[in-house]
A and B are shown apart, each in its own frame.
Chain A
Amino acid sequence: MPLTDALRDDILASVPSLRAFAISLCGNSDRADDLVQETLLRALANIDSFQPGSNLPAWLFTILRNLFRSDYRKRRREVEDAEGNYAKTLKTQPAQGAHLEFQEFRAALDKLPQDQREALILVGASGFSYEDAAGICGCAVGTIKSRVNRARSKLAALLYVDGAEDFGPDETVRAVIGSNG
């Protein structure tokens, strides 16, 4: 369909969640914003292939996810280093204790296999249905369900079972100091 005012507004309205998805995927806000920009350009160039009345956010997320996938293969190493950059993306820094907990969560999320992480984010944070998430990832609904389940149990194991005794302040402080060396 042509780029109408309404469609342009809808695309703009999707930008905040596209960014959230991009940052959740790659952990680095500069790269995430580049990814969003590339997504928008790609979407606008291919706007004719968007079916009026279909799910615009799902269409945009699909483009972003595919771009991320092809980009990721090229830059795997940088992605693995990106963890520490995440805190910079926050406008309001949470209180210290919450901030540390948040970093632990982010670190655990980064340990998930990519398939599981994206499935969990799409369903658990972006609020897509399993069906939409399956469409975005190009796989069966059952596959998405099992990825989400595996992601959840892995996060639980990382955060609340295996690492349970690591939660004291001493350990956290040591981890922060340790990461500088």
Chain B
Amino acid sequence: MKDVKSQASRNPAPGKQGSLNAEIQSRIGHQLRAMYDDIVRQGVPERFADLIRKLDVPPNSPQLNNTGDQTTTNNDGRE
């Protein structure tokens, strides 16, 4: 519903306003990627590496839950 407003601002007059817009857009793109890449750089948490590794073992194999090498403590006291 608020889109009426942004529709109007989507058609800026050419010239100065256009280049200001381009600068703003490049800044937004930069911030968006910085935010995202920050998380990507955290790599694969042990929890997921474990999960995928375990699923590799045939399902009838014992000792699935006996790896004992929790390197990442996941304190989820949420529930």
Which residues of A are at the interface with B, using a C-beta cutoff of 8 A?
3, 8, 11-12, 15-17, 19-21, 23-24, 30, 33, 36-37, 40-41, 44, 89-92, 101-102, 105-106, 109, 120-121, 124-126, 149-150, 152-157, 159-161
Contacts and interface: CB of A to CB of B under 8 A. Distances in A.
A121 B33 CA distance: 9
B41 A8 contact: no
Which residue, of A20, A33, A89, has the highest number of chain B Cβ atoms within 10 A? A20
B19 interface: no
Nearest to A90: B38
A159 B29 CA distance: 13
A19 B35 CA distance: 12
A1 to B, nearest CB: 15
Given A30-B76, A92-B38, A120-B32, 9 more contacts: A20-B37, A91-B41, A102-B34, A109-B35, A124-B28, A153-B10, A157-B5, A157-B6, A157-B9
